[in-house]
Structure 1
Amino acid sequence: MQKCQGAKFAIGVDRLTTRKAAINGFNELLTKELLSISLLQIAPSSRADVDEYQKYKEDVENAINHVNDDHGTDEWRPIHYTNGSFSQAALARLYREAHVGVVTPLQDGMNLAAKEYVAAQESEDPGVLVLSKFAGAAEDFNEDEALLVDPNDPKEIADAISRGGQHAA
């Protein structure tokens, strides 16, 4: 990932409609720990023909721009956002490189991104998963494997990302 300037690296891969909680939590974290971590947010496009989705996409992109404007510098952006797609191999490399995986849906099915993140980790230096307690995958992880959070609480998300970043030293 470019321009992280030595900061830790978190990754979120999920539908755009679940990302606002992670962005709010990340913003909360940056008010306390500026330059400590960067987030790569991958939100593959879906439902592009639905007007409500387009409005939500604009809201999320505005929130990302707000965080970057408030906390970024000329050399560093806290959030790198793309709605492009990645090959499974490229995504696995990104998961492995990330110190923290952030999966914070308000409600969801199984959420395979959480399982893919954990499966991609190196056993000698694994990253830390920050996972919504409302994701179906939350049932499959114990407290040693994931930091479960309430996605409605930006402070709780921020604290978990911070703990995850400190653990993955």
Structure 2
Amino acid sequence: MKDVFRGRAAWVFGDDFDVDLIIGVENIKYYDPDKLRSVCMKAFDESFVDEVRPGDLVVGGRNFGYGHPHYPAMISLRNLGVVAVVAESYAPGFWRGELYQGMPLVTVPGIGSAVERWDELEVDWKAATVHNARTGETLVGTPPSAHAIEVIEAGGGLNLLRAQYGGGRAPAAAGVRSTR
């Protein structure tokens, strides 16, 4: 995975945003990519699916991902090509779930008010920096931990476990190490 993404702010969400609203609460039990694509962001912008491009990013305020940690909403965004989320802070359940799906989550205070939709951004997810081409401003956030980097670079927690344990069985309980 590359360290720097160059893409547009496909959407800027406010504080305490429940990601289930991306696809609508009535669709949180679906995992079919075509179904999720058909409902993605319809409540906010009917043309979103047609306008978002691979490499775009999502920007959020404080407590992004508030609510129950369901995965279909982010599956729909990943299937559209969204490569990372940059927010002021994240709800803990969302953070854990998306980190272990391999989604780069960048924490940058003030990002919610510093970015407008479709701004061209350059995001170094490991350094937690965001440069906004429109304003010329560079914001600096909190870099991810070494473990978070390892999970993201592996493409998610399951891939990391497979790499660590040679494709064999992962340990039965968290914190248990193989004696091989």
- Per the TM superposition, whether the score is higher than 0.5 is no
TM-score tier, shorter chain, comes to 0.3 to 0.5
Report which structure shows greater RCO (CA 8 Å, sep ≥6): 1
What's the TM-score, normalizing by structure 1?
0.33
Q: Which has the higher helix share?
A: 1
| Structure ID, larger Rg | 2
